[in-house]
């Protein structure tokens, strides 16, 4: 059995499914050689004329360029440059209508030719053996060569195929009606085309080169066969005329019996396909150094006076081509770019020629009938029979109308080569190919959006991952810092502990040294340690000396008992005053009147004492020790009385403040309490006045007793002093009684008269009474102080012992002779009266205790 290569070498051909036989109409334009056109007024060069990305601009508006100069630089993603087709000036760079059924604007360079057609410096290669594959491919790339059969795929990408190529297939079929550009090119430039084949043959190293040409082009077959006869690896094959045998997949099937897989390319099965126009451009780029700036275009149709093939500069407007060939438009004229099967009607004749433009068809209304209205599908299956890809055109059309894009992909929509065979045979005149083109565009746009979304998602996830990583790094950094700070803190604590231990040791050392120093100081002469009891011994010696002194004084004063009694009486009076002052704050608000009465009584007693002191003679400087003791006791009693009065005043203040706050709250509750408090105040005032009167009487009796003993000197003076003292005592007692009665009457009258009208008035009256009592206490204290001051001024101290000063404080005016004249009986009488006063004071203190509110 023959191998595939042997079958190919023997000239065997295979068949592809489907296909049609439309009228060829090639004789209109293939009879004349390829013509040259005059320079157009302007050239419009879209930046994108191929499959892939645009190049980046190298020129600006106003620049002057030469023929063949690069206007853009290729980038990535199958990018190709474009070149200036002639010399001239860049008039503008702006969007212009594109060579597409939609005529959507694309960024274009507008070149105004200068008419000189001056070339840029060229770099032709005479011997390709001096260049390696990479250099050759780079020349092809920089020349901007793309597939010129209609697809516009970058040639350098195919030439740099990563997969091994078994067969290089040259497409010279040109199966579509009316188009004869490749036919005339093969006839006129066969040697150049074979030279281009040999360049690719040297790069790809295929086993065989299969040159396929339809059998309706005998002149082209002969020319290519003659040019390739020196190369045994180039096999020229005549292929039966059938549309669309020029399709890439169909031609591979015809010549090699291999089928390109769905959604695949011929390189997947070791086959590479190139168009004859592309191979001629490769020859120009390598051997002449010229970039792709022109191509052969068929201008034909019944409205063209001279249909033929022309060399058209890229960017030339379609109008210029039509006018140069004698265009005579008809009514409802259509101009089609491409053939009648795969071409599209141009929206304007101002569209430029691009790298994929191979034909401009201007038919009349009879030549290419305008399709009628679309009718319903009759399910004849003619479209399925004509499809060269074995697809289901009717089903695809339904999915395209319903925009079921997933179903379209499942039914291999992208395997459709848009040959138009289905539309050509459809009796319902359904434009099936138009449905497929729109659906393909929608699916591509949808996939592009998905790609963008996926890229955005990837960027988002990458950003999120980066932020999380940075956050984790920051946390780890903080952890490291905290971990490093912990040992530092521990080290600091250890250092502090060590320092504290050192300080403790130093303090212990200093304490030990101090103890040692004290021990050394206490050592006796014999070097033995003795206990340090010196301070205790000194205190003990002082106490013993005081005891001895006290004992001696006691033995020297036999009459100390009487003096003790006087001192005890003074102490009793002071305690009575203190008890009265302490009970005052605990009493009810009306107790302020009792304080006033007590103050008045104290004033009376002070005046009586002063009178008694005036009646007595001034003591001598060398008075007996017993009299001096009595004077000291009297001074102590006065000081205690003054202290008790001060405490009573403070207690009165607090009581007044409490009483001022209390009535506003309690007056409304029970106005009878104020009356009860007033009655208690009146009773206490009367009692205090009576006691003050009795105390004054006792003082006057003492004063009377004193002058009887000293009557020898001046009895009249003593009698007058006694009378004055009695009068003053009576007056003080009366004033105290009147003050107490008036205060009590006011306090009593307030609640009884106005309790029913306004309970607040009772509280106000009680506050006034307390204020008056407070004022009277203050005046009494000032009066007592003035009396004491007068006594101090009258009795200046004399040179002598400390007892003389105590006598001056007492304010005594009697002489030393009068003091000595007192008989023991008089002193006993005074002691009895003092005992009586003490008893009365105790009784008064008990009564006040009983009257305290619970």
The Cα–Cα gap between 424 and 23 comes to 12
Q: Torsions phi, psi of 5, nearest 5?
A: -65, -40
The Cα–Cα gap between 469 and 109 comes to 48
Pairing of strands 105-113, 88-97: antiparallel
Name the residue among 148, 168, 149, 171 with its Cα closest to residue 80: 148
**For residue 754, what are its two tokens?**
């106005």
Which residues lie closer than 8 Å to 177 by C-beta, 6 or more apart?
22, 23, 24, 25, 26, 243, 339, 340, 341
Q: Is 96 left (phi over 0), alpha (psi -120 to 50) or beta?
A: beta
Residue ranges of the annotated binding site are 377, 380, 383, 387, 416, 419, 422, 426
Residue 714, preceding peptide bond in cis (omega within 30° of 0): no
Q: How many residues does the chain have?
A: 854
Residue 564 CA from chain centroid, whole number: 90
CB 733 within 8 A of CB 696: yes
DSSP string, 634-679: HHHHHHHHHHHHHHHHHHHHHHHHHHHHHHHHHTTT-THHHHHHHH
The Cα–Cα gap between 54 and 678 comes to 118
Cα dist. 849→438, 584, 688, 832 in Å? 121, 10, 15, 26
Name the residue among 353, 331, 242, 267 with its Cα closest to residue 16: 242
Q: Is 144 left (phi over 0), alpha (psi -120 to 50) or beta?
A: left
Name the residue among 167, 188, 339 with its Cα closest to residue 276: 188
**For residue 317, what are its two tokens?**
């407007």
The Cα–Cα gap between 28 and 563 comes to 171
CA torsion through residues 529, 534, 540, 546, sign:
positive
**Cα angle for residues 173, 179, 181 (degrees, 5° grid):** 80
Name the residue among 270, 268, 295 with its Cα closest to residue 281: 295
Residue ranges of the annotated binding site for [4Fe-4S] cluster are 377, 380, 383, 387, 416, 419, 422, 426
Q: Which residues is 56 bridged to in the sheet?
A: 73
Q: In what order do the strands lie in the sheet with 167-172?
A: 234-239, 208-214, 167-172, 271-275
CB 356 within 8 A of CB 148: yes
């Amino acid at each position: 059995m023959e191998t595939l290569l042997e079958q190919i070498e023997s000239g065997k051909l295979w068949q592809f499914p489907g296909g049609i036989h439309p009228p060829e109409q090639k004789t209109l334009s293939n009879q004349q050689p390829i013509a040259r056109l005059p320079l157009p007024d302007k050239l419009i060069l879209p930046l994108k004329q191929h499959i892939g990305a645009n190049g980046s601009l190298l020129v600006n508006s106003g620049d002057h360029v030469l023929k063949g100069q690069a206007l853009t630089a290729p980038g990535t993603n199958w990018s190709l440059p474009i070149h200036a087709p002639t010399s001239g000036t860049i008039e503008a760079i702006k969007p212009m209508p594109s060579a597409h059924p939609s005529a959507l604007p694309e960024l274009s360079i507008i070149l105004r030719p200068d008419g000189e057609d001056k070339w840029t410096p060229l770099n032709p290669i005479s011997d390709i053996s001096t260049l390696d594959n990479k250099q050759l491919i780079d020349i092809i790339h920089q020349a901007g060569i793309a597939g010129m059969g209609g697809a516009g795929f970058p040639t350098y990408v195919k030439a740099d195929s990563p997969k091994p190529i078994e067969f290089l297939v040259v497409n010279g079929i040109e199966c579509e009606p009316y188009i004869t550009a490749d036919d005339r090119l093969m006839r006129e430039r066969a040697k150049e085309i074979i030279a281009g084949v040999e360049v690719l043959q040297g790069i790809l190293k295929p086993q065989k080169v299969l040159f396929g040409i339809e059998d309706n082009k005998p002149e082209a077959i002969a020319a290519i066969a003659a040019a390739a006869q020196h190369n045994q690896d180039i096999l020229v094959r005549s292929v039966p005329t059938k549309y669309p045998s020029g399709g890439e997949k169909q031609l591979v099937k015809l010549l090699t019996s291999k089928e390109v897989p769905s959604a695949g390319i011929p390189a997947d099965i070791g086959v590479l396909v190139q168009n004859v126009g592309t191979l001629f451009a490769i020859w120009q780029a390598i051997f002449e150094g010229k970039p792709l700036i022109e191509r052969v275009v068929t201008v034909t149709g019944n409205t063209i006076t001279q249909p033929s093939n022309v060399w058209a500069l890229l960017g030339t407007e379609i109008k210029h081509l039509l006018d140069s060939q004698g265009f005579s438009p008809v009514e409802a004229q259509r101009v089609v770019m491409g053939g009648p099967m795969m071409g599209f009607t141009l929206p304007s004749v101002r569209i430029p020629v691009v790298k994929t433009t191979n034909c401009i068809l201007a038919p009349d209304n009879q030549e290419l009938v305008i399709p009628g209205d679309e009718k319903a599908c009759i399910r004849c299956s003619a479209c399925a029979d004509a499809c060269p890809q074995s697809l289901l055109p009717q089903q695809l059309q339904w999915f395209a109308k319903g925009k079921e894009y997933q179903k379209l992909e499942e039914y291999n929509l992208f395997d459709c080569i848009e040959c138009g065979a289905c539309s050509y045979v459809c009796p319902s005149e359904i434009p099936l190919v138009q449905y497929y083109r729109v659906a393909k565009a929608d699916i591509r746009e949808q996939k592009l959006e998905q790609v963008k979304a996926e890229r955005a998602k990837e960027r988002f996830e990458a950003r999120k991952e980066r932020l999380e990583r940075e956050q984790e790094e920051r946390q780890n950094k903080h952890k490291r810092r905290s971990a490093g700070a912990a040992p530092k803190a521990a080290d600091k604590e250890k250092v502090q502990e060590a320092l504290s231990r050192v300080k403790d040791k130093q303090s212990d050392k200093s304490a030990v040294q101090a103890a040692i120093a004290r021990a050394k100081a206490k050592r006796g002469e014999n070097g033995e340690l003795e206990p340090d009891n010196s301070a205790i011994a000194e205190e003990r010696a002082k106490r013993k000396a005081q005891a001895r002194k006290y004992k001696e004084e006691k033995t020297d004063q036999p009459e100390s008992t009487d003096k003790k009694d006087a001192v005890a009486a003074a102490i009793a009076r002071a305690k009575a005053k203190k008890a009265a002052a302490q009970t005052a704050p605990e009493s009810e608000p009306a107790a302020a009147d009792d304080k006033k009465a007590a103050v008045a009584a104290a004033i009376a007693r002070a005046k009586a004492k002063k009178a008694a002191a005036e009646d007595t003679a001034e003591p001598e400087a060398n008075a007996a020790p017993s009299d001096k003791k009595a004077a000291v006791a009297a001074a102590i009693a006065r000081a205690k009385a003054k202290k008790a009065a001060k405490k009573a005043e403070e207690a009165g203040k607090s009581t007044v403040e409490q009483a001022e706050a209390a009535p506003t709250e309690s007056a409304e509750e029970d106005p009878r309490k104020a009356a009860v408090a007033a009655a208690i105040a009146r009773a206490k005032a009367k009692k205090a006045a009576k006691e003050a009167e009795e105390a004054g009487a006792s003082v006057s009796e003492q004063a009377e007793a004193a002058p009887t003993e000293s009557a020898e000197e001046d009895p009249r003076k003593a009698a007058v002093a006694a009378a004055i003292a009695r009068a003053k005592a009576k007056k003080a007692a009366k004033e105290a009684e009147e003050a107490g009665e008036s205060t009590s009457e006011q306090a009593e009258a307030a609640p009884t008269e106005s309790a029913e009208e306004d309970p607040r008035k009772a509280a106000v009256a009680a506050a006034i009474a307390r204020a008056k009592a407070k004022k009277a206490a203050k005046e009494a204290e000032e009066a007592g102080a003035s009396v004491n001051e007068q006594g101090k001024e009258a009795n200046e101290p004399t040179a002598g012992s400390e007892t003389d000063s105590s006598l001056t404080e007492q304010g005594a005016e009697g002489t030393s002779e009068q003091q000595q004249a007192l008989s023991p009986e008089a002193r006993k009488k005074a002691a009895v009266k003092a005992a009586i006063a003490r008893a009365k004071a105790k009784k008064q203190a008990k009564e006040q205790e009983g009257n305290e509110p619970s």
